[in-house]
């Protein structure tokens, strides 16, 4: 297996590669055979410690966070050019900042809207880039672009075949508010999209009927592994097998451990006398995530800052097919955003 590493972004060190299992910090967990892992590798997720690079933690809670509404088209193109992980032939891979939508309204500044300028900037001429795979607006991480329709088709067939064979091709990092009851396993749930109060929300469906499936309910599956825990939080590795909007966020809510910075679905987790429980999804409206005072103290955030906390969900790793059918997969890696690394430092979610 060949690995391609992202360039350093905003002082966050490139992820190291070694072999023989997944390594986060210094803790090694063997990949279970039934988890659908295509390859085994271990990666150092922690940036090299440097207070000079990060600055005082309390002064820079959201270091490196992108604000697309404040950028011009030219500035966004430059940000994306600097975020390129790899460019070979028609394929371009970049490390998308959190908060950047992939698509949107015609007047909105999105990844899709600036692809013509990015194609020119990368020297592709008239070969305009198309999006092959990308995480949602609130998720950071790897985006796969192609300037060749045949290459795009080949990659899409690879991803489709992998899903049908239940072989995950994407690995996400997440920080959760709460610790899952078990250290690793599968999360299965039937989900549907509901249009409520002018927004689309994902709602779980218990015991879906055949009619439900025909009307848009989808059975979803994700693998998860708790990498390290501290301060009532966890660093979790997530590998979705199926594809559905907000799948990973909703799956972690069903584990009573919402992703940190989830201001849409975290409100579905209630607490009474220290015990967590699920509130009815249909009647629970989205609201800013409420964090315990002890957690706010560890994060060195005020309640007002916590209300702006970005979603801590990052597409860290993608597998692509080799040039020939029997070639080993190509592995693309991207470093964590600086604010994500800061959170890990504040919570003590590092080598043990």
Q: How many CB atoms lie within 10 A of CB 311?
A: 23
| Same-domain pairing of 199 and 99 | no
Provide the token pair at 52: 């000079």
Question: Does a structural domain hold residue 320?
Answer: no
Rounded to the nearest angstrom, the gap between the alpha carbon of residue 123 and the centroid of all alpha carbons in its chain is 29
Asked whether residue 101 falls in the same domain as residue 244, the answer is no
Instruction: For residues 10 and 147, state if they share a domain.
Output: yes
CA distance 21 to 45: 14
Shared-domain flag, residues 7 and 28: yes
Whether 75 is in a domain gets the answer: yes
The pLDDT of residue 173 is: 97
Give the CA count within 13 Å in the CB-facing half-sphere of 39. Answer: 23
- For 54, the domain range is 2-171+325-347
In a domain, 311, yes or no: no
| pLDDT confidence of residue 319 | 94
Same-domain check for residues 218 and 267: yes
CB 301 within 8 A of CB 26: no
- Number of domains observed in the structure of the chain: 2
> Do 23 and 69 have their domain in common?
yes
Whether residues 208 and 266 fall in one domain? yes
Q: How far is CA 5 from CA 16, 29, 171, 245, in A?
A: 8, 21, 14, 27
Residue 142 lies in a domain: yes
Asked whether residue 107 falls in the same domain as residue 199, the answer is no
Q: What is the model's pLDDT at position 256?
A: 97
Cα–Cα distance, 205 to 223 (Å, whole number) = 19
In a shared domain, residues 336 and 252: no
Q: Determine, yes or no, domain membership for 315.
A: no
Please indicate, yes or no, if residue 313 is contained in any of the structural domains: no
Does residue 140 share a domain with residue 19?
yes
Contact 68, 100 (CB under 8 A): yes
Does residue 181 sit in the same domain as residue 223?
A: yes
User: Tens-of-pLDDT digits for all 352 residues of the chain?
Assistant: 555 554 433 323 222 222 222 323 222 233 333 333 222 333 333 333 333 344 444 456 787 788 888 889 999 999 999 999 999 889 999 999 999 999 988 888 999 999 999 999 999 878 889 999 999 999 999 999 999 999 999 999 999 999 999 999 999 999 999 999 999 999 999 999 998 777 889 999 999 999 999 889 999 999 999 999 999 999 999 999 999 999 999 999 999 999 999 999 999 999 998 899 999 998 899 999 999 999 999 999 999 999 999 999 999 999 999 877 778 888 999 999 999 999 999 999 975 4
pTM: 0.84
Rounded to whole angstroms, the Cα distance separating 33 from 266 reads: 31
Whether residues 238 and 145 fall in one domain? no
Q: Give a yes or no: residue 314 inside a domain.
A: no
């Amino acid at each position: 297996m060949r690995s391609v590493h992202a360039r350093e972004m905003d002082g966050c060190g490139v992820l190291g590669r070694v072999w023989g299992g997944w390594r986060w910090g210094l803790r090694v967990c063997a990949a279970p055979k039934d988890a659908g892992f295509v390859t085994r590798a271990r990666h150092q997720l922690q940036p090299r410690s440097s207070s000079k690079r990060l600055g005082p933690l309390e002064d820079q809670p959201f270091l490196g966070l992108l604000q697309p509404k404040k950028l011009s088209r030219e500035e966004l193109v430059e940000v994306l050019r600097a975020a390129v992980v790899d460019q070979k032939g028609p394929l371009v891979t970049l490390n998308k900042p959190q908060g950047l939508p992939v698509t949107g309204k015609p007047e909105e500044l999105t990844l899709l809207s600036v692809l013509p300028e990015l194609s020119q900037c990368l020297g592709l001429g008239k070969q305009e880039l198309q999006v092959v795979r990308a995480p949602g607006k609130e998720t950071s991480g790897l985006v796969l672009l192609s300037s060749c329709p045949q290459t795009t088709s080949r990659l899409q067939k690879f991803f489709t075949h992998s899903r049908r064979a239940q072989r995950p091709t994407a690995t996400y990092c997440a920080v959760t508010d709460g610790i899952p009851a078990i250290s690793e396993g599968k999360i299965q749930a039937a989900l549907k999209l509901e249009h409520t109060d002018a927004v689309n929300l994902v709602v779980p469906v218990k015991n879906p009927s055949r009619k439900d499936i025909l009307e848009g309910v989808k059975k979803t599956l994700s693998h998860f592994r708790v990498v390290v825990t501290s301060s009532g939080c966890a660093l979790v590795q997530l590998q979705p097998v199926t594809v559905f909007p907000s799948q990973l966020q909703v799956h972690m809510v069903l584990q009573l451990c919402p992703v940190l910075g989830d201001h849409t679905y975290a409100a579905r987790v209630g607490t009474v006398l220290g015990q967590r429980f699920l509130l009815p999804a249909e009647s629970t409206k989205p609201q800013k995530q409420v964090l315990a005072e002890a957690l706010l103290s560890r994060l060195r955030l005020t309640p007002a800052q916590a209300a702006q906390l970005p979603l801590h969900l990052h597409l860290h790793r993608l597998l692509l097919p080799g040039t020939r059918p029997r070639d080993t997969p190509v592995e693309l890696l991207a470093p964590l955003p600086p604010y994500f690394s800061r959170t890990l430092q504040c919570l003590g979610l590092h080598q043990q």
